[in-house]
C-alpha cells in the first residue's frame, strides 16, 4: 500500500483473539504458544500486524499466562480479558477501544491463523472504502457430499460456497452496533453478526497461508506454507519405575486415587505410572530423568503430586517445538485390579499432556504371582513415549 493511499485511510485497529484454551491440537501447550519455526504461533500474527504501516494499534485478547509467555506488546497495543465464548472476547476488546472513533477501521483476527500477509490486509482495507465489512475467502476445491451416518449422500454444489478466513474487516461503528444488538444471538464469526444488521459483507481473495491451526498435523502444513522448512524426526523414550506398597498411605496410579488397603511409598505421591511416563518423555528428549529435575533430596518435592512432573516433561517437549504423538503405559500389579480404572487414567493422562485421548494407551498385567509384584510387595510400571521433534 502506497504512502498516498495510507494517508487517506482512517485509523486502523486490530483485535487479535488468543483467549482459547488451545489444547485440542495436542501440542502440550496452548496452541497459540506452540513454537512455529523460531517463534510462537501467536507472535507471527502480532508481528505481521505491528509491521503493517496502516495499523495504528491493537487489542490482544489473552489470559495472563499467555500474556506472560508472549512478552512485550508492540507500541500502541493493549490487552483485554477473554470471555467464555469468542463473541464475548470480541466485545471485551471493543470495550477496550472505547476511545477510538466509530469511523475507524478494525481488523478482527484469530491467532490460530499465523500466516497473515500484508497483501490480505491491504485488500481488506481497500474494500472498506466501498463497504462497511469485508472478509477473505477461498474457493472450496473438494467435492462435497451430505453425510448420512457412515454413508455418502447427495453431492452438494460447491460453486456457490466459499471458505471464510480471518482477519475480517469492519467499520468500527458497524461492528460495535452488531455486537450491541447481538446480546441474545450467537455466531461463529463477526461477519455473521454484521449481516444480521442487513449490512452487506464484501469478499476479497483470501490466502492459503491463513490455514487454521486446529490439530498437531497442521503445524507441518503451516511450516510448509510459511516456508519455514522445519524437518521433524521421531524420538522414542522408555521409562520404568517401581515403588513399594505400604499401609496407611493413599494409592495414586495414573494420576487418579484408587481405594486400596495399601499405598505406594516414595518422596512424592509415588505415582509409579506417571513417574515411568515422565522418564519416557524425558528419555525421548535426551533430557535426563525425573531424579535430575526433581531430586528426592529436595524437600520441596516431598508429597508432591506427580502430575506436576509429567506436566513439566510435556512443557519441555513444547519448548523444543515438538509434540507428543503417543504415550503407552503398562502397569504391573497383582492388586488392585487396574481394569476398572483404565478409562479414568487415560483421560487424566491425556489431560495432563494436553493430547487427544486416542494418543494414550494404558494396559495392565500381573507376573503370575512371581517376584515382588506377585507377592504384592510393590507395583511397577513401564512406559514408552513417541515424540516428534524438530531437527537441529
Strands of 111-260, DSSP E: 133-139, 144-148, 151-156, 162-164, 168-171, 202-205, 232-247, 251-253, 256-258
Cell of residue 174, nine digits? 458497524
Domain 3-225: assigned CATH number: 3.90.550.10
pLDDT for res 3: 54
pTM for the whole thing? 0.65
pLDDT for res 26: 66
pLDDT for res 5: 54
Q: Which CATH number fits domain 232-390: 3.20.20.70, 3.40.1190.20, 3.40.50.410, 3.30.1330.50?
A: 3.30.1330.50
CATH 3.90.550.10 region(s) of the chain? 3-225
pLDDT for res 163: 93
Residues facing residue 59 across a β-bridge: 15, 78
Contacts of 319 (CB under 8 A, 6+ apart): 35
Peptide bond into 167 cis (omega under 30): yes
pLDDT for res 34: 87
CATH 3.30.1330.50 region(s) of the chain? 232-390
C-alpha–C-alpha distance, residues 290 and 277, integer Å? 10
- The long-range contacts involving 187-196, CB below 8 angstroms and separated by at least 24 positions, are 187/87, 188/86, 189/135, 189/164, 190/90, 190/108, 191/133, 191/135, 191/164, 193/87, 194/132, 194/133, 194/170
pLDDT for res 227: 80
Report the first-to-last Cα separation within the chain, whole angstroms: 38
Give the three-class secondary structure for 68: helix
pLDDT for res 175: 97
Question: For the chain, which ranges sit under pLDDT 70?
Answer: 1-9, 21-26, 229-230, 392
pLDDT for res 6: 55
Whether the Cβ atoms of residue 231 and residue 391 lie closer than 8 Å to each other: yes
Amino acid at each position: 500500500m502506497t504512502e498516498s493511499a495510507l494517508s487517506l485511510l482512517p485509523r486502523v485497529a486490530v483485535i487479535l483473539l488468543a483467549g482459547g484454551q488451545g489444547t485440542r491440537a495436542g501440542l502440550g501447550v496452548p496452541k497459540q504458544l506452540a513454537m512455529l519455526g523460531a517463534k510462537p504461533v501467536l507472535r507471527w500474527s502480532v508481528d505481521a500486524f505491528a509491521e503493517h504501516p496502516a495499523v495504528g494499534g491493537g487489542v490482544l485478547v489473552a489470559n495472563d499466562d499467555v500474556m506472560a509467555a508472549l512478552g512485550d506488546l508492540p507500541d500502541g497495543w493493549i490487552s483485554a480479558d477473554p470471555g467464555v465464548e469468542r463473541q464475548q472476547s470480541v466485545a471485551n476488546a471493543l470495550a477496550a477501544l472505547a476511545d477510538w472513533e466509530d469511523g475507524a477501521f478494525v481488523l478482527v483476527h484469530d491467532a490460530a491463523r499465523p500466516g497473515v500477509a500484508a497483501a490480505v490486509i491491504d485488500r481488506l482495507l481497500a474494500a472498506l472504502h466501498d463497504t462497511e465489512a469485508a472478509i477473505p475467502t477461498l474457493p472450496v476445491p473438494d467435492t462435497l457430499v451430505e453425510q448420512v451416518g457412515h454413508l455418502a449422500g447427495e453431492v452438494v454444489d460447491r460453486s456457490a460456497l466459499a471458505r471464510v478466513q480471518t482477519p475480517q474487516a469492519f467499520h468500527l461503528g458497524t461492528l460495535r452496533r452488531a455486537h450491541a444488538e447481538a446480546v441474545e444471538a450467537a455466531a461463529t464469526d463477526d461477519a455473521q453478526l454484521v449481516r444480521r444488521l442487513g449490512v452487506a459483507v464484501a469478499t476479497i481473495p483470501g490466502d492459503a497461508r491463513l490455514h487454521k491451526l486446529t490439530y498437531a498435523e497442521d503445524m507441518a502444513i503451516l511450516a510448509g506454507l510459511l516456508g519455514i522448512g522445519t524437518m521433524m524426526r521421531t524420538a522414542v523414550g522408555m521409562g520404568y519405575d517401581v515403588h513399594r506398597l505400604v499401609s496407611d498411605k493413599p494409592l495414586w496410579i495414573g494420576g487418579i486415587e484408587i481405594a486400596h488397603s495399601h499405598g505406594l511409598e516414595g518422596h512424592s505421591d509415588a505415582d509409579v505410572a506417571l513417574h515411568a511416563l515422565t522418564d519416557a518423555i524425558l528419555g525421548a528428549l535426551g533430557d535426563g530423568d525425573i531424579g535430575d529435575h526433581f531430586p528426592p533430596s529436595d524437600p520441596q518435592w516431598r508429597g508432591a503430586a506427580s502430575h506436576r512432573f509429567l506436566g513439566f516433561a510435556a512443557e519441555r517437549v513444547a519448548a523444543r517445538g515438538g509434540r507428543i504423538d503417543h504415550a503407552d503405559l503398562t502397569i504391573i500389579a497383582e492388586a488392585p485390579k487396574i481394569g476398572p480404572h483404565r478409562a479414568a487414567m487415560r483421560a487424566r493422562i491425556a489431560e495432563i499432556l494436553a493430547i487427544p485421548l486416542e494418543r494414550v494407551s494404558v494396559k495392565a498385567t500381573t507376573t503370575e504371582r512371581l517376584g515382588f509384584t506377585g507377592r504384592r510387595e510393590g507395583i511397577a510400571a513401564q512406559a514408552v513415549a513417541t515424540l516428534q521433534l524438530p531437527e537441529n
